[in-house]
Structure 1
Amino acid sequence: MTHSLITAFGLASKMQVVESRVALESQVRLFHSEEYVTLLQANADTLKPEEEEEYGLGYDCPVLPDLWGLVCQLAGGTLTAVDQLINGKAKVAINWCGGWHHAQRDSAAGFCYVNDIVLAIRVLQSKFDKILYLDLDVHHGDGVENAFLFSTKVMTVSLHQYEVGFFPGTGHITHTGVGKGRHYTLNIPYKPAINDQQFVHIFESVLYPICEVFRPDALVCQCGGDVLAGDPLGSANITPEGYKQCVQHILNINKPTLFLGGGGYNKANTAKLWTHITAKIINETIPSEIPEHDFFSQYGPSFEMDISPSLRKSDNTHQHIHHIITTTLDNIGKLTELLNKPL
């Protein structure tokens, strides 16, 4: 739906469209364990229930036909985008089919069978010394964070809804990394029904200080659509207009940047969002009316690109937003102190 909508607006012809290649087993193993890869390659009929449970397969990660083929296709799309950045063929690369941020080294989780984001960052490290990862999905980017908890070369920043019972239950504001990687992880949790003004205010208040201190050589951004108003799994109240403001701030950093998809469980709204962001990235204005194309009927009854916020009042008070920002800036300050400490 996303790619059809992008094409319907004539945006694809204004970008370099690169055919995705399939990831190699050796590339998937850059992060995932040998045991997990072997399980993914196994015939679904041969898997035992206890094996599925041990490796996170089941309820939200069902065993699908040709699961290994799916994993290699998903990872391959993101790695193809990475190649464009490494080879200098693009300053910005996009793969809306990527962004599977919950997958762990040895297990699937939260609909994610492969962590293409971690694979992308690992490959990007072959050229770019320091990489900043930004996660805008409504859920905590736990898989990516866990992969780089001890790293001083990869800084992970996740804005996400955080409350009791909300998946995955991690990402408290006090969790800032481990060991040498202490203060290179930032978690920015908010309460339900956060609105555009609050979301953008938090993001712009912390992004520039982060970049001033960490000085990244490349950026990776996961653009989950489940933060949108009306998403059945998220409780945020964001519109594409607010999201695009965050994207513009990312573009302002002016570094090689990889944009990836992620969650989004209202399919029509998610396709709208990623089309809006694509237009923002290439500095194109698109009309509000959706053109006729293969999936046109799924955008009714309005057939427009706008997504209206709900009438629900944000649970995030002014005081709470202030607390989030000041605590995050304090955590960034601790990284500054660490970097300025004499050897």
Structure 2
Amino acid sequence: MRSKDKIAYFYDGDVGSVGFGQNHPMKTHRLCMTHHLVLSYDLHQKMEIYRPHKAYPVELAQFHSADYVEFLHRITPDTLHLYASDLARYNLGEDCPVFDNLFEFCQIYAGGTIDAARRLNNQLCDIAINWAGGAHHAKKCEASGFCYINDLVLGILELLKHHARVLYIDIDVHHGDGVEEAFYFTDRVMTVSFHKFGDLFFPGTGDVKEIGERDGKFYAINVPLKDGIDDNSFTRLFKAIISKIVEMYQPGAIVLQCGADSLAGDRLGCFNLSIDGHAECVRFVKKFNKPLLVTGGGGYTKENVARCWTVETGVLLDTELPNDIPDNEYIKYFGPDYSLRIPHGHIENLNSKNYLTAIKVQVLENLRNIQHAPGVQMQEVPPDFYIPDFDEDTQNPDERISQHTLDKHIQRDDEYYDGDNDNDHNMEDS
């Protein structure tokens, strides 16, 4: 048992200032609310806080097609009319709208997950947190389900440079289809998703029968659930399956996507989980003492998202948080009772004991088909991605730096960096 976990936490206030649109369920503001709640509980004093670097297009193209990355880089709300056919091709539209600073938003949240993976790889921390990450639906060549760039896949690719096997766990109410698809043919990543499953529920995939193919056969695990699952049923099933997976697969690192739309009362969800039930999954995964990368994900009742990820930050820090929310910039959102915990929901639990047992038996049966911890030939570890320095003097001074970029170099009032954090070559100066 290691003495005390060293935790790196990534945040850039700009991720919470973009808008998907007034009537869109995704409110990036939830990230600012989470951060301020974390600060109000003084959790920042127990972690190392970093502003992530903005992922370069060439880094995003480690998974995504170069033409898709280039398109995201180019498109703006003002140029939509020029790209009608491309919008359809890359699935941008109602669910995945084009908004101001879209590409920069992607660069920041993806940069956070990539940086988190690199710090874990270099043993600079034991746990790395990027609540802005977790965009698990994005595909190689298209946006999907409010997700544009799949930071999780990029983070896992980074971890694979140092680890023979990576375990991906997803507790978002929606199936982690983009991550599963990316690693469907390999045994080097095992993807495990606990989600609501049904033909009419997005994305419509994630049946227990989807198990991976070729070298990846039996390395994709899906736990399809019905409406109304509660803390007790969910955590019991989660622990039984995850403990068996860790024992059999022996991952070198774990990535945990903590989508908060599986909480009771979520605008788009249909589960009955309380924050304590959701956080119990995080607590359980932490106990394996593996390098752990934790991200956000879905979550559409924003005050509950902020509550949940703050509690889970506390769990990762072994810190019990008082139920009374301290004063902070967003305190009015947490009324009328200003408490951290939320009650579980009242949707009827359609998951019978027999159904859950049958799912568990099926999953454990599939697990028996994998070799004990597949022996992967590790080649020489590739270096962290090298980004050339640009010589500013050779650039046209009129084009060199925009006011928008210039403003970024000024530390924002709503961020908190203790001292100077540029001790890593891929971290931006704070």
Calculate the TM-score normalised by the size of structure 1: 0.97
1:43 Cα deviation from its structure 2 partner: 3.6
Counterpart Cα distance in 2 of 1:131 and 1:211: 10
CA distance in 1, matches of 2:154, 2:55: 10
Residue 184 (str. 1) matches residue 219 (str. 2): yes
List per-residue Cα deviations over 1:116-151 (Å, max 9, x = no partner). Answer: 000000011111111000001000000000000001
Q: 1:285 aligns with which of 317, 320, 333?
A: 320
CA distance in 2, matches of 1:79, 1:275: 22
Question: What's the secondary structure of 1:335's corresponding residue?
Answer: coil
SS of equivalent residue, structure 2 residue 107: helix
Which residue pairs with 2:306 in the alignment?
271
Question: Could you tell me how far 1:336 is from its partner in structure 2?
Answer: 4.0
| Pair 1:29-2:61 in alignment | yes
Larger radius of gyration: 2
Superposition RMSD in Å: 1.4
Is the counterpart of residue 164 in structure 1 residue 199 in structure 2?
Answer: yes
Deviations 1:145-168 (A, max 9, x none): 000000110000000000120000
Q: Which runs of 5+ in 2 are unaligned?
A: 1-32, 376-430
CA contact (8 A) 2:249 2:372 kept: no
Partner Cα distance (1:226, 1:202) in 2: 18
Distance 1:268 1:43 in 2: 31
Partner of 2:90: 55
Deviation at 1:19, TM superposition (A): 2.0
Residues 249-264 of structure 1 mapped to structure 2, 5 A cutoff: 249-264=284-299
Q: How far does residue 338 in structure 1 lie from its aligned partner after superposition?
A: 10
Say whether residues 1:237 and 2:269 are aligned partners: no
1:140-159 pair list within 5 angstroms = 140-159=175-194
Matched, 1:16 2:48: yes
1:4-40 Cα distance to aligned partner (Å, 9 max, x none):
0000001111111122111111110010001101211
Structure 2 match to 1:64: 99
SS in 1 for 2:48: coil
Contact 2:186 2:219 in 1 (8 A): yes
**Aligned ranges for residues 284-303 of structure 1 at < 5 Å?**
284-303=319-338
Establish whether residue 199 from structure 1 lines up as the match of residue 231 from structure 2. no
Task: Give the secondary structure class of the aligned counterpart of 2:119.
Answer: helix
Deviation at 1:251, TM superposition (A): 0.9
| Selected match of 2:74 from 24, 27, 42 | 42
| 1:86 to partner: Cα distance | 1.2
How much has 1:76 moved relative to structure 2? 0.7
Name the SS for the 1:157 alignment partner.
Answer: strand
CA–CA distance in structure 2, aligned partners of residues 238 and 123 of structure 1: 32
Equivalent residue, structure 1, for 2:210: 175
Q: Counterpart amino acid of 1:9?
A: Y
- Measured after TM superposition, the shift of residue 334 of structure 1 is 1.5
C-alpha distance in 2, partners of 1:19/1:7? 15
Shift in Å, 1:245: 1.6
Partner of 1:248: 283
- Percent identity, please: 39
